[in-house]
Amino acid sequence: MDGLIRFDVATYNGVAMVVVESDLLPPDPAVVVIPLLTDYPAVTHLNPILRHDGRDLVLATRMIAAVRRSALRRAGSVADQGDLVTRAVDVLMAGV
């Protein structure tokens, strides 16, 4: 799907995912996402709980992946919680 930007929520096979890739990168058929799950062990700062579509969902940061854009369907945004997502990726990559 074209038009996805950072912190958009998209669904893939029924799973909600947050786009974490920068909007400044050149276009690519795939985009980097992190799943939002209901039953995932939350580790402070690594797995923040995000509010989306009236539900509390855990950012499963260690399950970061690339998915073909054409397989995704936009389902909203968590841009208002973007700082939590950015911190989680920083913790994953740098441990801080």
Can you tell me the distance from the alpha carbon of 85 to that of 20, in angstroms, rounded to the nearest whole number?
A: 8
Q: What is the pLDDT of residue 24?
A: 93
Whole-structure pTM value:
0.94
| Beta bridge partner(s), residue 23 | none
Residue (of 85, 86, 82, 34) closest to 60 by Cα position: 34
For the record, the structure tokens of 40 come out as 């995932």
Quick: pLDDT tens for 44-85.
999 999 999 999 999 999 999 999 999 999 999 999 999 999
**Domain map of the chain by residue range?**
8-94
Can you tell me the distance from the alpha carbon of 43 to that of 9, in angstroms, rounded to the nearest whole number?
A: 21
For the record, the structure tokens of 20 come out as 């974490």
Q: Please name the amino acid found at residue 47.
A: N
- What does CATH list as the number for 8-94? 2.30.30.110
For the record, the structure tokens of 35 come out as 């799943």
